[in-house]
Structure 1
Amino acid sequence: MSISPEETQIIKSILQHCEDGTTDMQPELMRNPVTTYTDPEINAREIETLFRKFPIIMGHSKQLPDASSYITNDELGVPLLITRNKDGQVKAFMNVCRHRGARLTDSPCGHAKTLSCPYHKWTYDLDGNLRGLPHAAGFGDINKQELGLVELPAFERFGLIWVRPSVSDEPLDLDAWIAPMSEQFQSLDLEDHVVYREWSLDRKMNWHLALEGFQESYHFCGAHEHTACAGYLDNQSIWLDKYPHVRHAVPLPKVVDLKDQDPDNWDYRGNFLTQNYVFPCNYIQVMTDHVYIHTIIPTGVDSCIFKCIMLIPEAPKTEKAEKYWQKNYDVIRTVFNEDFEIGESIQKGLNAGANNEFLFGRYEIGLQLGTKAIHDALEGRLTT
């Protein structure tokens, strides 16, 4: 499998680190106030900015398998109806009738050419157009074209569905937004993958604590001493700042064998876990042969939702394949739970007064880069 010049440089850098006993580091420490995790006003600002003004990955293309399919989602605090219309295009709307505000559907997914409000049967197609209403004469000369569902910016790229969950006059060029990561994402062929498992967890911790578990590998041999630790080099990673996104390459121990191979024969993916932070709240976590899509959503200052989609190259065709993917699923659930249990224990102690700030070490690079991008967005220095 051919690798990109960027991946060739990642391998060269990690081999040099292994030879020198070093790792990537930032110039200085960063100090993050504990109020980031405890202040309801900060949490409200983050929801209003990060979770309304920026595109968020809401699913995989196979979850809208054909024309007239739809999915719904309320976890962002906005009732979303995401559809694939008769032309195969992905659309997103508020799942709210324009007559009296009732939800059009409570089904998590389905197929339909039209959806009718259960209250008064106003009916909409999957392009959001108001197609009909009973006893229309009672509403005079209303313009049905002005009473379609409220549309939200939606995109389908790299086999993933992206939605900006608010109405805005500000344009959104998703291709430009994700351009720093596009070469890598395009190479993954995620549109040809299938969903093996999808799950959603309510956790009792600030959303930053859940996000931060993916933003450094310093904790691997602490939190994951008996699980993930042995699978990777200890605290040796390569970080690429793709502002506001981040590519984090975590090497497997066997990467050192590449030093004796011709670089033309190097295999990147088989030797790395790649953790891709997609601002503001997604991670595309690339394993050696499958991929996880993570979405972390605040539901309060001390609670969040963790969503995950496990993507595999093809549906299991044999019992052996099913056991293999089930084992991978079981392992990742165990590893994630180790992070979440620690995150919830941190949340319990935040108001004790032991810490006024947290230290982000020089090799906790993802924490530093991610925090800077979030601060920039909250201060209006970062927009789509």
Structure 2
Amino acid sequence: MTSVRRWTGREAGLLRQALRMSVRGYAAHLGVGIRTVSKWEKLGTGTCPWPDTQAILDTALTRADAAAQTRFEQLLAGPRRPLLSRTPVSAVDDHETWAEDLERIVVCLDRQDFDFAATLLERRLGRAQVRDLDDRGLYLYGRSLTLSGDLRRLQGTLQDLLTARRLYTDAHDLFTELGIPRRAAQLELSLAVVTEMSGRLTPAATRYQQLTDDERLGSADRARALLWIGTALAKDGRNTFAIQVMGQAAERFVELDEPEDWATAQQKLALAHRGAGDLTRALAYIDTARSNGRFESPLQRVQIDTAHGHILLTDRATRSAGNDVLDRASDIARQYGLNHQLRSIKSVRNSGEYV
């Protein structure tokens, strides 16, 4: 039986596949949270389970039946690109520190600490000699390109969006070459988001639709693609259809036990109902979103306040309160360099739609 010297998210995810379990079932089998399993599969070699969890994974592998152990060995071997020589120990050490830097970058992006994230990314991307990297190095380089694209997308100027598209495309090509289809598909989803943010709503909705049935993506990503179809439709004024699609996405998030995504769906449903002229339902949905979402990051706070302010601004009776909420959102967006959100707030103020 193959043993694992040190588990990373990649090996933990491959064991789930070998056991042929869902994310939820695997989490229950190990006694860990669903989000923990999702994090392993999202970050791959960029994350390592805690020592006690490493022991749990060892036990799960040992107790797996022979067929599952064989599948795990085959998945672990995987298609690999041939290397001309063994990876030197110094490169292995650098891989570990590189992976740690990527984890720090993810945290920085979640907090919208763009300056420090940019410093770490510039250090990694500027230092890497792509032609000299082994498979692990190329994977880390691809993840660095992806996170650099995320940074640009979150900052959200028009030039940032163009740069994000280029970075995502380069990362997509690299993961395709490495034979990592899930990462490639996730980048296709990110490229569709950039397309939507650039105002090209119909092609974005079409791409989202294609990805909702793409087996390379996990169930949660496919549900998000469905939700984002509704977002693009609502922005394009097709609110009735958007409400139907978003409702289906919200049901999927319930089935997948993804409460944060469900709360986001309620927020988007609120805006779609506002667009359809039903302010009573819009306020009900935004209250549900505010009550159930965590909204811990600056971006999340700006998004929920922008949606709430948009709804309040639509009714002349609550116009003053809406402006106050949008003022608060603008202050946070400006403080953290959230340029796309600032444009959205300006657009809301200029819409002039009142009932």
Higher helix share: 2
Normalized against structure 2, the TM-score is what?
Answer: 0.27
Higher strand share: 1
Normalized against structure 1, the TM-score is what?
Answer: 0.25
